[in-house]
Amino acid sequence: MLAYIGLGSNLKDPKAQIKRALASLSNNKAELISVSSFYESKPLLEIPGPNYLNAVCKIETKLSAIDLLDLCQEIEESQQRVREVKWGSRTIDLDILLYGEQVISNKRLSIPHPEAINRAFVLVPLFEIEPNIKFPLLGSIKDLLERINKLDVNKL
Binding site for ligand ROI (CB under 6 A): 8, 41-44, 52, 54, 87, 93, 121
Three-class SS of residue 7?
strand
Q: Which is nearer to ligand ROI, 15 or 29 (CB)?
A: 15
Question: Is 95 tagged catalytic?
Answer: yes
Give the nearest distance from C-beta 2 to ligand ROI in angstroms.
22
Category of 13 on φ-ψ map: left (φ > 0), alpha (ψ -120 to 50) or beta:
left
Question: Is 93 tagged catalytic?
Answer: yes
Q: Which is nearer to ligand ROI, 76 or 93 (CB)?
A: 93
Which of the residues 13, 93, 119, 152 is marked catalytic? Answer: 93
Give the nearest distance from C-beta 94 to ligand ROI in angstroms.
10
Three-class SS of residue 116?
helix
The single-letter DSSP state of residue 46 is: G
Question: Is 90 tagged catalytic?
Answer: yes
Give the nearest distance from C-beta 88 to ligand ROI in angstroms.
7
Q: Which is nearer to ligand ROI, 8 or 112 (CB)?
A: 8
The single-letter DSSP state of residue 38 is: P
Which of the residues 70, 81, 143, 152 is marked catalytic? Answer: 81
Q: Which is nearer to ligand ROI, 43 or 100 (CB)?
A: 43
Q: Which residue is nearest to ligand ROI (CB)?
A: 8
Find out whether 124 and 116 touch, Cβ atoms under 8 Å: no
3-state helix, strand, coil in the chain (%, to 5): 35, 30, 40
Three-class SS of residue 106?
coil
Question: Is 81 tagged catalytic?
Answer: yes
The rounded Cα 22 to chain-centroid distance in angstroms is 11
**Which of 25, 13, 47 lies closest to 96 in space, CA to CA?**
25
Active site residues: 81, 90, 93, 95
